[in-house]
Structure formats: C-alpha cells, structure tokens
Structure 1
Amino acid sequence: MEILASRVLFRPADYSRSLAFYRDEIGLAIAREYGAGTVFYAGQSLVELAGHGHRAAEAPPFPGAPWLQVRDVYATQAELEGRDVAIARKATQEPWGLHEMHVTDPDGVTLIFVQIPETHPLRRDARA
C-alpha cells in the first residue's frame, strides 16, 4: 500500500463557527475552499472542515487529539490569548519532556500544541 496524502476531516456541528475558529482564532492558512468545505494547512498535514454531510447530534466529538507542533508553545499561547482564544490547559513542560498546551475547538475537540526542546529524543538523529 502506498499512502499519497493524508488529512484530518472534521464534520462540525456548526460549520460557520468552526470555520471562524480555525481560520480567525487559531490562524490556520487556507489550502483550498470548495463549495461545502474548507481545507487548512497544518504543517505537513491538512485539516478539513466539511460543511457537507452531517454529524449526528448524539455523536461524540472527534475521539482523538490533533497534535500541532510549533516552534515556541509559549509564544503561541500568548498569540492565541491575544486573539481571545480560551486556553484549556496552559503551556507546561510534561514529564516526558515535551512542552504542551491545549485548546478546545467549538465541538469539544482538544488541539494539542507541542514544542519539542532541542535536547528531546525526538530531535536526535537515530541513524548510526
């Protein structure tokens, strides 16, 4: 199997509210818009809000948590607070060494913003 591309697809309860959140509050750049949805750049991946189809009222929100790596999570927190975005969990260094901050989207999906310190194993070259 060959994977050519990937993205996270959300079917928000209120498309307009979620569009404003991801575009204006979080500040993701638009990759493309089509008649019934918007696709945003998110680093090496994409986030799509689909205004077509429907999300069952009783359906739980997205069960995962998108992981968004940033250069400086503390600066990102200040930027989002400057846009009046509610921070669900303030930036802090976790026991596993990453610096993380959480924001919740209009449908209750947790977005995890992550900063990887220079000394973290994720930054080490694993090649011999």
Structure 2
Amino acid sequence: MDYIQIDRTNCMEIILLEFPAFETQWALHLESWNPQIDRPIALDIAEFADFAIDTICLGLDADIEHLAAITQLMLLKGDAVINYAFRTMFLEQIAHRSSRSGFSVEAFITKLQPLGYYHWLEIDSRCSIYPAGVGSGE
C-alpha cells in the first residue's frame, strides 16, 4: 500500500484492489447510476462505507484492521476531496449507522491508526452519539 497521491481518479481503483470482495457491490452501484450524469466521488465512498459496515458487523479482525489501514491511507495520501469525503461520507456514515442500528464499532475504533482515530474523536465530540468510552478517549 504505497501510493503517492490519491484523488477521485484513482481512489475507487485502489479500494477495489485492496478489497476484491467489494467488486460485486461496486458493480451494482455503477449499474444503478445514469452514465449521462457525473457521479460524485462522495457517493462512491458512501457505497464503500456500506461495505465497511457489513465488514465491521462480520467482526473478522484482519478485515477490520485492513479497513482501518485504508482509512488512514485515504486520510494521509488523499487530496482535499478524498480526505474530506472519508471523514464525512465514510467515518460519519459508520458512526451514524452504528448509533441508529446498534452494531458495535469498538473493534473498528480500536484498530484506527492515529489520523483516523483523531477524526473519529472529532465526530464523537460533535455528535455525542456513542456509548460512554467508545470513541471518546475515555
């Protein structure tokens, strides 16, 4: 996982290389979109967030650790658009879905690397949607 700069031209390609299991869901996502209309990268990252939520729910440590590593990569190497989309469309979507559905995100939170964890704490401080001690640094 050594990438120079990640932007909207290569972000999803990298995700598909790193998560081949996402390909079927990705294909369905593409089929549902009108090719005459530009598709915002934020919608693509939101689709990947749905995949990530399913992965977190399955609870396989290696897969969750890989998600955390990709999150860190996108935050570190992503341009401003990718960085913002991963903070808002990826991390926040996971957080909000966990809050509404009640699935545990603790395994994911504990595997987040420094930048991902920092942004998770930022979401927690703004939203206060997590149980005490989860993602709040307590």
TM superposition score normalised by structure 1: 0.32
**Relative to total residues, which structure has the larger strand share, 1 or 2?**
1
**Relative to total residues, which structure has the larger helix share, 1 or 2?**
2
Higher RCO (C-alpha 8 Å, min separation 6): 2
TM superposition score normalised by structure 2: 0.30
Structure showing greater radius of gyration is 1
